[in-house]
């Protein structure tokens, strides 16, 4: 009975050893006496116990490898770049991926180094930042051609970081700060110019309106004087008497206006009753003298030649 039990126990062990399960997105490499027997994908499988062996379970999911590279640009700036390569084992080439490459990460890293150090030295530092997608495309193209024969598909290559030397970064920050200060100064100068122009325009407009107001005021005063003289002429008062009367009236109106304002600082000299008459006489004398000088200047002008003389 004990022998039968042992045989049954061993039979159960062998039976359970015949079954194996492969998880989703995984492939199992089954070898028989060291030779590839089959590639099994997700599901429940059978194998010959003690003869068939599962050498490795290959991961079919997308994997990522980050490669850090130190290189130099065309303008002799050392930069540290991080290139992330996303790759995947081709489902139909699982055996090639297992047997042809022992260390695929090292192979991918070598190609990334080769491409980046061939492309970046052709560019200036600013172009490296602008054309990082071109570098990534070049890396992917080179890897795709090389790794497909080994059973690997390159999904994506990304330049995820570009880190120049610290001194270079400080210099770039200073340049950017100076450029921004220059732009701010230009905007401030333009705003100041606009303010000055606006003030000047407002002042000019104010002077213009003020001049128009003074001209209108004087025009109305002259019109009022004319009407006053005409009104006095209608009652048989001649122009000289009318002018004297108007001047005297305005003189006393001014004195009355000054006297009614207790805060006025205006002083009129002279202010005697004969002041208006004297002012009028002085005005008439001045106008007569001016007219005499004008007549004298006209008499000194040469006579125009006679058109009929030969």
**What's the pLDDT tens digit per position in 118-168?**
989 998 888 888 888 999 999 999 898 889 889 999 999 999 988 887 777
What is the average pLDDT value for the chain, to the nearest integer?
Answer: 79
What count of Cα atoms within 13 Å lies in the side-chain half-sphere of residue 281?
5
> The whole model's pTM is what?
0.52
CA distance 22 to 310: 135
d(CA 76, CA 72): 6
Q: What is the pLDDT of residue 155?
A: 92
CB 112 within 8 A of CB 71: no
| Lowest mean pLDDT segment, chosen from 18-22, 165-169, 301-305 | 301-305
> Running DSSP on this structure, what letter comes out for residue 268?
-
Write down the pLDDT at residue 310. 39
Q: Quote the crossing angle between the two packed helices 275-299 and 239-260, to the nearest 10°.
A: 130
Asked if residue 243 lies in contact with residue 222, where contact means CB atoms within 8 angstroms, the answer is no
Based on its alpha-carbon atoms, the radius of gyration of the chain, rounded to whole angstroms, reads: 55
In this structure, how many other beta carbons lie within 10 angstroms of the beta carbon of residue 207?
10
Residue 160: burial class (beta carbons within 10 Å; 0-12, 13-18, 19+): exposed
């Amino acid at each position: 009975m004990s022998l039968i039990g042992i045989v049954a126990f061993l039979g159960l062990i062998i039976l359970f050893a015949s079954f194996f399960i492969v998880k989703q997105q995984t492939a199992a490499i089954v070898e028989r006496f060291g030779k590839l027997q089959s590639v099994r994908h997700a599901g429940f499988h059978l194998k010959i116990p003690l003869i068939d062996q599962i050498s490795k379970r290959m991961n079919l999911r997308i994997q990522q490898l980050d490669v850090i590279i130190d290189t130099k640009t065309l303008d002799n700036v050392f930069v540290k770049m991080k290139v992330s390569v996303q790759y995947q084992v081709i489902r139909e080439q699982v055996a090639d991926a297992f047997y042809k490459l022992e260390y695929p990460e090292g192979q991918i890293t070598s190609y990334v180094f080769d491409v980046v150090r061939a492309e970046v030295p052709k560019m200036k530092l600013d172009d490296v930042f602008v054309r990082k997608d071109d570098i990534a495309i070049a890396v992917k193209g080179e890897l795709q051609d090389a790794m497909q024969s080994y059973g690997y598909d390159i999904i994506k290559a990304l330049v995820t970081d570009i880190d120049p030397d610290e001194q270079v970064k400080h210099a770039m920050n200073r340049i950017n700060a100076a450029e921004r200060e220059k732009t701010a100064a230009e905007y401030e100068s333009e705003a100041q110019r606009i303010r000055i122009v606006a003030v000047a325009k407002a002042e000019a407009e104010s002077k213009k309106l003020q001049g128009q107001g003074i001209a209108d005021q004087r025009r109305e005063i002259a019109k009022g004087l004319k009407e006053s003289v005409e009104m006095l002429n209608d009652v048989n008062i001649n122009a000289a008497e009318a002018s004297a009367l108007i001047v005297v009236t305005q003189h006393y109106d001014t004195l009355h206006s000054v006297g009614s304002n207790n805060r006025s600082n205006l002083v009129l000299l002279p202010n005697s009753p004969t002041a208006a008459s004297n002012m009028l006489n002085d005005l008439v004398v001045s106008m007569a003298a001016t007219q005499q000088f004008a007549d004298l200047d006209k008499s000194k002008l040469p006579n125009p030649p006679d058109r009929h003389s030969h």
